[in-house]
């Protein structure tokens, strides 16, 4: 079994966390085909994404406290097994309603990987170290969304969309075995929390009323909401509106993933000479610029693939710089409640993602304008959250206290 600080442990945690983006990105090229097979509208098909986010959000409120009581590993393993069973249900679905329900169940299991992966990093490292490790983890994890749409497009073209869910289920089972036998339990025994409703509510109240937690969490949630707006709308914009072949969708998607990796690597490099919040604000400014350019082009009816891809790649560079800092900042005040803090963080993140995904589906006008506008608005809101909350209330031990801080 590996040591906790081994680079291979980080890689395996990244592979566990990657189940989340795999479950969304791999089947993006299949969305138009799913709609055609079930005779479902764009809003009904995109609801399979939004319901996944809703289930993901709800489950995190449960699996985090369970992991604070029983440890990270058993909850993560159980989540993977549930995800695999729900994936089979998705593959066998005969109507859009069944697929939506099984996607919800899939999310209940799939939430364990990301929420407990974040908590495990906080268990192992200090807050400042965790921000850099999370950036490294995100870079490794970015391989999944880079490969997933291309693989999904090939599976759709060759074997049909149901094969995507069989592949996802197999991946989840492999990860359950790897976590069981390859990674030590990262949680200290003395940090285990009692599983009592009153204590859980007390923990959530303490976390939710921490202003620095709220600042980092809302900054993260709004920028992630912008990212999910792209995930929710990109296949319809690129495939249906701009005529990209499903098997080529992943190649364009890889450009955005490359931007995300560049942002992660920049965060790691800058972390040696800048404070995390200095990296965070630079990333937000880049993300706002990318989102604004895309919205400006769409508003002026500049409709081509590169008018979407290049601004989104710039947005992703900023996002790659923002996400690790906000994750580490949100959890830094709660070493004894990292699972619960990660759960509440993930609940807010996924709730906003579900909202933006539903908005893209409901307001979609057949062009890129709706998607681009929501991305730009969310990026601006993220910058506002930083300026109003994070800048005034940085996390203790993560940033120096400002004059107006707590």
- Comparing 84-88, 143-147, 332-336, 340-344, which segment has the lowest mean pLDDT? 143-147
Q: How far is residue 286's CA from residue 378's CA, in Å, rounded to a whole number?
A: 13
Among the ranges 6-10, 110-114, 129-133, which has the highest mean pLDDT value?
110-114
Q: How far is residue 234's CA from residue 336's CA, in Å, rounded to a whole number?
A: 40
- Comparing 72-76, 125-129, 215-219, 393-397, which segment has the lowest mean pLDDT? 125-129
- Taking a C-beta distance cutoff of 8 angstroms, is the pair 261, 392 a contact? no
Residue 401 predicted with pLDDT over 60? no
**Confidence grade of residue 4 (pLDDT, cut at 50, 70, 90):** low
pLDDT at 400: 38
pLDDT tens track for 38-53 = 888 777 888 888 888 8
Domains delineated in the chain: 7-390 (1.20.1250.20)
Among the ranges 107-116, 123-132, 142-151, 255-264, which has the highest mean pLDDT value?
255-264
Residue 94: name the closest of 34, 135, 31 by CA: 34
More confident residue, 383 or 341: 383
pTM over 0.85: no
Instruction: Report helix angle 112-124 to 338-363, nearest 10.
Output: 140
């Amino acid at each position: 079994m590996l040591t906790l600080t081994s680079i291979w442990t980080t890689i395996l945690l990244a592979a566990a966390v990657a189940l989340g983006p795999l479950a969304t990105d791999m089947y993006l090229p299949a969305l138009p085909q799913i709609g055609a097979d079930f005779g479902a509208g764009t809003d009904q098909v995109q609801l399979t994404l939004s319901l996944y986010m809703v289930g993901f959000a709800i489950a995190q409120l449960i699996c985090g406290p369970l992991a604070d009581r029983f440890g990270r590993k058993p909850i993560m393993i159980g989540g993977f097994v549930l995800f695999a069973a729900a994936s089979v249900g998705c593959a066998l679905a005969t109507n859009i309603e069944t697929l939506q329900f099984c996607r919800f169940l899939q999310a209940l299991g799939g939430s364990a990987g990301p929420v407990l992966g974040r908590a495990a990093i906080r268990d192992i490292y200090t807050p400042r170290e965790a921000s850099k490790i999370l950036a490294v983890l995100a870079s490794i994890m970015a391989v999944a969304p880079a490969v997933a749409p291309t693989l999904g497009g090939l599976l759709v073209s060759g074997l049909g969309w149901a094969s995507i869910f069989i592949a996802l289920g197999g991946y989840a089972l492999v990860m359950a075995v790897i976590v069981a036998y390859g990674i030590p339990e990262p949680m200290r025994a003395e940090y285990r929390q009692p599983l009592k409703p009153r204590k859980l509510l007390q923990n959530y109240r303490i976390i939710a009323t921490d202003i620095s937690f709220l600042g980092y969490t809302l900054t993260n949630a709004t920028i992630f909401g912008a990212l999910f707006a792209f995930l929710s709308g990109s296949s319809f914009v690129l495939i249906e509106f701009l005529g990209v072949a499903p098997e080529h969708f992943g190649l364009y998607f890889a450009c955005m993933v490359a931007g995300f990796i560049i942002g992660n690597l920049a965060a790691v490099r800058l972390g040696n000479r800048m404070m995390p919040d200095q990296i965070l604000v630079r990333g937000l400014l880049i993300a706002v610029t990318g989102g604004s350019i895309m919205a400006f082009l769409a508003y002026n009816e500049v409709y081509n693939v590169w008018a979407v891809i290049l601004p989104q790649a710039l947005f992703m560079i900023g996002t790659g710089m923002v996400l690790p800092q906000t994750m580490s900042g949100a959890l830094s005040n709660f070493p004894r409640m990292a699972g619960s803090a990660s759960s509440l963080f993930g609940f807010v993140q996924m709730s906003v993602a579900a909202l933006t995904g539903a908005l893209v589906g409901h307001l979609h006008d057949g062009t890129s304008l709706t998607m681009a506008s929501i991305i730009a608005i969310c990026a601006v809101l993220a910058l506002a959250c930083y300026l109003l909350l994070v800048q005034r209330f940085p996390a203790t031990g993560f940033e120096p206290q400002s004059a107006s801080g707590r």
